[in-house]
Chain A
Amino acid sequence: MDGAGVRRFGLGSIPWIGAILLWYAVRWSGFVNLSLIPAPHQVAAKFFELLTKEGLLIDIFASTRRVFFGVALGILVAVPVGFLLGWYRPARTFADPMINFFRALPPIALIPLVIVYFGVDEVAKLVILVYASFFSGVIVMYEGVSQITPLYIRVAQTLGANQAEIFRKVIIPLTVPHILTALRVALGVAWATLVASELIAAQRGLGAMIQNASTYFLLDVIYVGIICIGLIALIMDMILRKITARLLVWQDRAIA
């Protein structure tokens, strides 16, 4: 690691260290019942216990896979739909109210219906995640696409581009940034929805683990689950940001 890298790493770890100190401080302050807040080292110990004895990795894998496929499928549909809505104004006037209606529904509220229609297995959980990813992604896509300026298309036309060439050489490059943003937003939303989706009789998964722990009041397990979700979401977002930086070197960004 070079000097700047070390500094960035140091700068990035300060808030984490601060959070852990604050965590201890809250315990030491005496204002809260100690049994309600497990200490960081207790949570860490629990983490290793779950990891080695209870198959925490299986839960992580189950959840990550759900989120991954949920987002992938949701975005796969959101990209063309969002594109059409952004591109054709009439389509938007036509579909906008309905999209906003469905987007406003919290996925948790849909769980009873999903159970009725899709049962309680993997498909049901996927449906919830796809739903959440689709509606968050589609908004990002159509807002982005509707802001593409006609200037570049006009330039391409005066250079002789036909419809297919305009699509391939102008519209796609201009759409890629919005697809990547939609992916990032959907990933965030999907992790947030995960616990809800695993309310549906899941045996494994971080959300299921948290649910089960709450029935037995295992606060340390709940903390491990929450921290795992946060960390995995963070790692996925970092990977996506790296990919974005690669694909969009051309973009003029306020922050490097």
Chain B
Amino acid sequence: MTKRAQFDNVSLSFETPKGRLNVVEDVSYDINDGDFIAVIGPSGCGKTTMMSMLAGFQKPTTGNVLFDGRPVAGPGPERGVIFQEYGVFPWLTVKQNIAFGLTLSANRVAAGERDAICDHYLGLMGLSDFASSYPKHLSGGMRQRLAIARAYAVKPQFLLMDEPFGALDAQTRSNMQNLLLKVLETEGKTVMLITHSVEEAIYLASRIVVVTARPARIREIIDVPFAYPRDESIQERPEFGELRSYIRQLVMDEYRAQQAQMRPASFSE
């Protein structure tokens, strides 16, 4: 198996007015080609920061983040990112948002094909009726689906997804999860997904990285014992339930640690 991404003793701290804030501490793990990594941990612990080093927006303070064997130098279209804040372009219509990546020289396609791809994702994401609306008319969940469609449209081999389904209702969420599984099956992508949902992590991922309260360290890396292709029936399996309670316990511990840390000033000088 080839390694696509490597975190190699990675630490990151921010200089803030109140002092140094350690956000990621001594994290090491590999993401192999075809892996589906889910990262789970308490809010504010440093998950987004960890991902943004691989996306190329942040440099580790110490250690190395490698992609395809080379230190990440910046963002690139082979690493598609779905941002926690969506970042749909308000000045473009829904369809123009999806088409955006396809109009760039890095992945330009002919106008006809572009149209077909846009229509395809508009349909998949249930946004066809809003193709020519501006994002200001969309609900939060629709914006999130638009951000997903826009990232899928350029077909990146590696997907970095930061709580991509967080704003969706349970039904839409499970549709989106199944859609993602189907996309992976046909296009063979590698995924790093940040989530707060233990069920989502187990249902989708091949490996789950549980991170600690801030600064984010690796609490445990758990292999998920279900083969792909998966469908919802695995959620009824006893192993699913066992794994779920095990991970929930870990996450709960870290959540409490984070809460305890929030009360006193958590800055070290």
Contact = CB atoms under 8 A, between A and B. Distances in A.
Contacts of A155: 81, 83, 87, 89, 150
A202 to B, nearest CB: 43
B105 interface: yes
A173 interface: yes
B89 A154 contact: no
A147 interface: no
A151 B84 CA distance: 10
Interface stretch (B71-79, B121-129, B258-266): B71-79
Given A165-B104, A169-B100, A159 B87 contact: no
Interface in B145-169: 150-151, 154
A158 B100 contact: no
Nearest to A151: B87
Contact of A159 (B135, B136, B150): B150
A151 B83 contact: yes
Given A174-B91, A250-B134, A251-B136, A158 B75 contact: yes
Interface string A157-184: 1111110010001100110000000000
Interface residues of B, number: 30
Contacts of B85: 151
A104 interface: no
Contacts of B57: 154
A252 interface: yes
Nearest to B133: A250
B101 interface: yes
Interface string B53-69: 00111000000000000
Contacts of A151: 83, 85, 87
B234 to A, nearest CB: 31
Contact of A160 (B83, B89, B90, B106): B106
Nearest to A176: B91
Given A169-B100, A250-B134, A250-B136, A160 B87 contact: no
Contacts of B74: 157
A160 B78 CA distance: 8
B154 A160 contact: yes
Interface in B97-130: 100-101, 103-107
A151 B150 CA distance: 15
Contact of A156 (B80, B100, B105, B134): B100
Contact of B90 (A154, A156, A252): A252
B89 A152 contact: yes
B90 A158 contact: no
Contacts of A252: 90, 136
Contacts of A17: none
Contacts of A169: 100, 103-104
Contacts of B101: 159-160
B92 interface: yes
17 contacts: A152-B87, A152-B89, A154-B55, A154-B83, A155-B83, A156-B100, A158-B75, A158-B151, A159-B151, A160-B77, A160-B107, A162-B104, A173-B91, A250-B92, A250-B134, A250-B135, A250-B136
Given A160-B105, A162-B104, 5 more contacts: A151-B83, A158-B80, A158-B151, A160-B101, A160-B104
Interface of B: 55-57, 74-77, 79-81, 83, 85, 87, 89-92, 100-101, 103-107, 134-136, 150-151, 154
The 3 A-B residue pairs with the shortest CB-CB distance in the complex, in nearest-first order: A160-B77, A160-B106, A159-B101
